[in-house]
Structure 1
Amino acid sequence: MVRHKHRYIVLEISEIGGSPTSPLKIREYSIYKSIQSHIQTQHGDFGVAATRAGFMAKYLNEHTRIAVIRCRRGSYKFVSSVIPLIRKIDEKTVVVNILYVGATIRKSFFFIRNYQQKKLDEYCVSLKTDEERNRLKEAMLNFDSIFSKL
């Protein structure tokens, strides 16, 4: 049996023209299809064939707009080269930024936890009650959807 090495790419998806406080209603499959279509246009059939095996969108938090995608180590450059070119996902105009590329999902979630903790500290300055802070913390640091898939 062969061990397949992967790369986990942490993305930040920002909707243009949308409210920054409203949840981002995008499915993980839509991210996958958008990246695959851009790989097709930029790298052709070879790029699609190289990235198809092992490529999937693993996690999407609609409140923090953070997503994690997984791809094989040999083809992650195809994937990472087209991510900044994505402008539409599910008929929504978006800007997609790469925040982190890691070799393990564990390190990727350590990065996400630290990144979201910094964002939480920035947002908590404007909140008045502890109840609001606790609800925001629950929404930002919720990783239950990814751990149920593992």
Structure 2
Amino acid sequence: MVRYKHRYIVVEIQIDGKPIHAPLKLKPYVLYEAVIEKVQQLHGDYGVALIKPGFMTKYCNEMTRIALMKTRHEPYRILASSLPFVNTLEGKSIALNTIYTGATMRQCFKFIQQHQRKHLNQAWSKLRTDDERKAFELAVMDLTMADPNNVSNT
């Protein structure tokens, strides 16, 4: 039996014209399709054939605009080189910034937790009531995985 090594890439999605603290309605499959399309443009059929078997969007947080993508170890550089060129998502002008690349999901989630804690501390002062703060904290610190029905892995 063969063990496949994976790489997990954490990206931050920045949208032109929207405030940093405004939530982003994003389905993981939309991000998956946009990345595959850009890999097709940059690396052709060869690039798509390399990354598609192990590529998956695992996590998207609407509040902090963080996404976690999984790919196989060998072609992860093709994926990583294509991410900065993804500039539209559902007709919106965006920028994808790679903020962390890890070998395990556990390490990526540790990094995401630290990153989201910083985001929470920055936004904490803008909220007025304790109920708003508690709801915002639950939304920001939500580390549940993406819905498997909306994620494509083939």
State the TM-score, normalizing by the size of structure 1: 0.92
Cα distance in 2, alignment partners of residues 33 and 148 from structure 1: 16
Are residue 129 (structure 1) and residue 140 (structure 2) matched? no
**5 Å matches for 1:93-104?**
93-104=93-104
Q: Give the aligned partner of residue 88 of structure 2.
A: 88
Q: Give the aligned partner of residue 117 of structure 2.
A: 117
Shift, 1:147, TM fit: 7.8
Q: Give the aligned partner of residue 10 of structure 1.
A: 10
Shift, 1:30, TM fit: 1.0
SS at match of 2:116: helix
Structure whose residues are more often helix by fraction: 1
Aligned length: 148
Shift of the 85–23 alpha-carbon distance from structure 1 to 2, 3 Å rule, reads same
In the alignment, structure 2 segments of 5+ residues that lack a partner are 149-154
Cα distance in 2, alignment partners of residues 134 and 41 from structure 1: 43
Shift, 1:130, TM fit: 2.1
Shift, 1:95, TM fit: 1.0
SS at match of 2:75: helix
Cα distance in 2, alignment partners of residues 77 and 66 from structure 1: 20
SS at match of 2:23: coil
Q: Give the aligned partner of residue 29 of structure 1.
A: 29
Shift, 1:148, TM fit: 7.1
Q: Give the aligned partner of residue 56 of structure 1.
A: 56
Query: Structure 1: which amino acid aligns with 2:90?
Result: D
Identity %: 39
Query: Structure 1: which amino acid aligns with 2:106?
Result: R
Shift, 1:21, TM fit: 3.2
Deviation string 1:14-70 (CA, Å, 9 cap, x unpaired) is: 111124333212211111111111111111111111111110111111111100000
Are residue 142 (structure 1) and residue 147 (structure 2) matched? no
Q: Give the aligned partner of residue 151 of structure 2.
A: none
